[in-house]
A and B are shown apart, each in its own frame.
Chain A
Amino acid sequence: MNDAAPTVMVRQRAARALARADASRLAAHWAAWPDPPTVEYLRGPEAGLVMVQGRIGGSGDRFNVGEATVTRATAVLRGGCLTCEQVGTSYVLGSDTEHAGLAAIFDALVADPATSPRALAEVVEPLEREHEHDDARACAEARATQVNFLTVARENTAGMEDDDQ
C-alpha cells in the first residue's frame, strides 16, 4: 500500500465515476481486463435502501426527504494481475445488482498498486470525461433558457409589484 491519504481520494473519485456509469460499460471493461483475478463476493451484490436527507431552507436543520434504492457489494479479488489480495466495496443508487457487483470489482482494482494505473486510465478517466461532456451539454441546454425579466415602467418601486395576480 502507498500512503493512505491519496488512495482515499482516488477511490472516492473512482466511486463517483463508477456509480454513475452504465453497468453494461463496466461489464465490457471487466470482460476485456487482461489476466483477471478471481472474484469472490463476501457480501451481495444485494439491494437495500438509504434514507436521503436534506436541510430545511437548504442550510438549516436536517430532515428526512425519503428513501432511495441502493445496491451494494463487497468483493475479494485474488491472484491474476494483483500484487496482493484486495477487497473492493461499492454502494450504487438504483436496483441494478450487477452494477454494484462490477463497481466493487473496480474499486478493488483501483485500490491495488499494480492495477490502479490501468483502472484509472482506461476505466475511470474515460467515464469521467464522458460524464463531464454530458454535464456540459445539459448545462448548455439549460443555459439556453436563461431570461432577463424586465419590469416595465414600475422599475424600482421598492418591490411593490406584488398584487398583479
Chain B
Amino acid sequence: MYVAVKGGEQAIANAHALLAQRGRGTGPRLGADQVRDQLGVLVSRVMSEGSLYDEDLAARAVVQAQGDVLEAVTLVRTYRTTLPRFGTTAAVDTARLPSERRVSATFKDIPGGQQLGATFDYTHRLLAEPDQGHVDADFDEAEPMARVTDLLGASALIEPASSDESDPDPADLTRDPTVFPMSRAERMQALARGDEGFLLSMGYSTLRGYGGSHPFVGEVRVGQVEVELDVPELGFAVCIGRIEVTECQMVAQFVGSSSVPPMFTRGYGLAFGRSERKAMSMSLVDRALRAEELGERAVAPANDEEFVVEHADNVQASGFVEHLKLPHYVDFQAELALLRTMHDESPQPESPQPQETR
C-alpha cells in the first residue's frame, strides 16, 4: 500500500533546476536536430520502444532525458496518449522499396545481391577520429530485392509465412485487455515495443541452450517503406510518407512432429528505424515463443509467453522498479512494527540481530 506524503515543494523545484543545470553543461547546447541526424541509432531505439515513429519527437525526448533512453521512451509514450488515432495503415511491404542493407547468412547468391549498407559490422571497434564518410557511387539501375524466405522458401524446406485467408484484424495491446495465451500477432506487437536489452538476453538464452534453437539469419534488411492509409473522406488510399524499418527473418531448425515433417521454421522481427539488434533478438524470441504451437518442449524462460510479454515492456518495468525509491515510510513502519511484535512474542536468542537502520 502506498500512503501519500506531503511537502518538499521547494526542494523538488530546486532538484529539477539542478537537473536542468546538470543537463546544460558548459559547451554549446545540443540541438534535437543534431541528435536526430547524428545519433540516429539511439533515436531509432526510442521510437521503437516508445512505439511511436517520429524522429523529431524522439530526438527531443533524448535531449530532455539527458540521454536516459528509458526516460526518453517514457516521454514518447506519454506524448502519444495525448493524440487521437486517425486510423490504421495498410500493412507495410518490406520488399517493395530497394533496401539500404540486405544480407542473408543462409543463401549466398540471392537475386538483388548481398548489400552491407550502413553497418557497424566489419569495423575494427577501435576508438578513432570521426570519418567524413564519402561514398563513391555510380548511378545504376536498382535491382529488385525479393524476400529471401519467399524466393527460396519452398525449395529450401522453409515453412511458408502463415497467412489466414480471412486476414484477421490483430488485437491491439494498447486498447484490448491482455489475455493469455495471445495470438502470435498480438505477441509481435508486445515484442516490437519491448526492451531491446531484455529481448537480447532472452534471445541469447535460447542460443545458449535455454529453449534450444539453432537459428540462421535468413535475411536482415534495413530500408524505407511507404506508409499507405485508406482515407475514408477521400474514398481511396494515399501514401502519407515513408518510415525506415529493420526486418529480420530468422530460420530455425525444427525436428518435426507427428503431423508435420521436419523443416526449417521461422521467427520474425520488425522494428522502427535502424534497430538491427532489436529485430534479430525479436525474431529469436518470436521463434522461441512458438514452441507450444510447434509441439516442442516448452520449459525455458524464453518459451514462456506470459513471462516474456509481461516483462518485455521497459516503461512498466522501470516504473515498478523505480517507484521503490519514493517515500514508503508508513509501509516500512508497519512492517517494522510487525517484526518487533513477532520478536517480542517469541524471543530467539540464537538468531543474529539484523542491523537496524532508521
Contacts and interface: CB of A to CB of B under 8 A. Distances in A.
Nearest to A148: B114
A14 to B, nearest CB: 9
Given A56-B188, A57-B249, A58-B149, A93 B84 contact: no
B313 interface: no
B32 to A, nearest CB: 12
Given A52-B89, A68-B54, A74 B233 contact: yes
Nearest to B162: A60
A160 interface: no
A35 interface: no
Contacts of A148: 113-114
Interface stretch (A26-34, A42-50, A75-83, A118-126): A42-50
B98 to A, nearest CB: 5
B51 A66 contact: yes
A58 B243 contact: no
B210 to A, nearest CB: 17
Contact of B115 (A19, A94, A142): A142
A53 B115 contact: no
Interface string B7-22: 0000000000000000
Given A49-B86, A53-B92, A70-B86, A143 B115 contact: yes
A6 interface: no
Interface in A122-163: 135-149, 151, 159, 162
Interface in A51-89: 51-70, 72, 74, 89
B61 to A, nearest CB: 13
25 contacts: A11-B236, A12-B237, A15-B238, A19-B240, A20-B242, A50-B89, A53-B89, A54-B92, A54-B188, A56-B161, A58-B149, A59-B163, A61-B163, A63-B188, A64-B172, A64-B173, A64-B189, A64-B192, A69-B83, A91-B240, A93-B240, A144-B135, A147-B116, A151-B108, A162-B216
Contact of A139 (B98, B214, B238, B240): B98
B45 interface: no
A97 to B, nearest CB: 12
A95 B56 contact: yes
Given A58-B249, A61-B168, 5 more contacts: A16-B238, A52-B227, A62-B169, A136-B142, A137-B139
